[in-house]
A and B are shown apart, each in its own frame.
Chain A
Amino acid sequence: MSELRFEDVSVRYGRHTAVDAVSLTVPPGTVVGLVGESGSGKSTLARATVGLVEPTSGTITLGGAPLPRRGRRPLQMVFQDPYSSLDPRMSIGSSIAEAMPRDETTATRQGRREEVRRLLELVHLGSTSPDARPGKLSGGQRQRVALARALAGRPDVIIADEITSALDVSIQGAVLNLVRELQQELGLSMLFISHNLAVVRYVASRVAVMRAGRIVEEGTTATVLGQPEHPYTRELLDAVPGRNPR
């Protein structure tokens, strides 16, 4: 496990600066929550991390070394919408196997099958057939398949972008429980992006608050959400539904 570090990272689309000189660290074995309103640059930062967009300037390092530009990255990402992030024509087993690095365990068909089983077991889908198509699964089950696929890449860090916001509340809890469990059991590091403060508070030990492309506040969850320094953080906290019931 190694540390994910953003130093002065900026991403510009034309003249618009989506991410503005962000410096942030995800220490090994911790879940760092990234909160902020939509359009604040959270998803762009995530996409830059996994190489879906190029940072305009700044560096992203993992364990001190820059991220490899080609080939398999030591980072994996889980997307918001479990209905569009799995190929509907592919069995969940092949989707998971596709993300595995090639080595002794996964060299043979048998090895890959066993690894798929192990991963499905890990996300509590042990009784689901690897041959099932995503169409047959519920949203929560799909999101767990997406997590299994991310784990298949044996990443050092997982980027989770709004992974519960497309889910019904009844299954959102199960996915959050799983995230915590995986973090505790596997010592996983994670950048957990969400606009829902209550959700972030539940899974993350550190929180960074992003606004208009900049990180305006960062610290332990208890401090940031308990004694917010920045007025914007306070504004976010005031906006949490259920804080001011009628």
Chain B
Amino acid sequence: MKVRIDPELCQGQGRCFSIAPSIFDFDDLGNGVVIGDGTLDDDTMKLAQLAQSNCPEHAIFIEE
């Protein structure tokens, strides 16, 4: 499974990189970006799901 951020939906609310700094970072404008290719293992999956459930813009997707 992989996590990605839809840049069209992300408004830089910053919840993802505060909750899961090992998975998400921010760019110069403060928008969220995924570190690396976003592949999740069992541990990072939980964290990614927590970030997803806190993104006000519903911009985080976890998919095959």
A and B physically associate: no
Which A residues lie at the B interface, using CB under 8 A?
A: none
Which B residues lie at the A interface, using CB under 8 A?
A: none
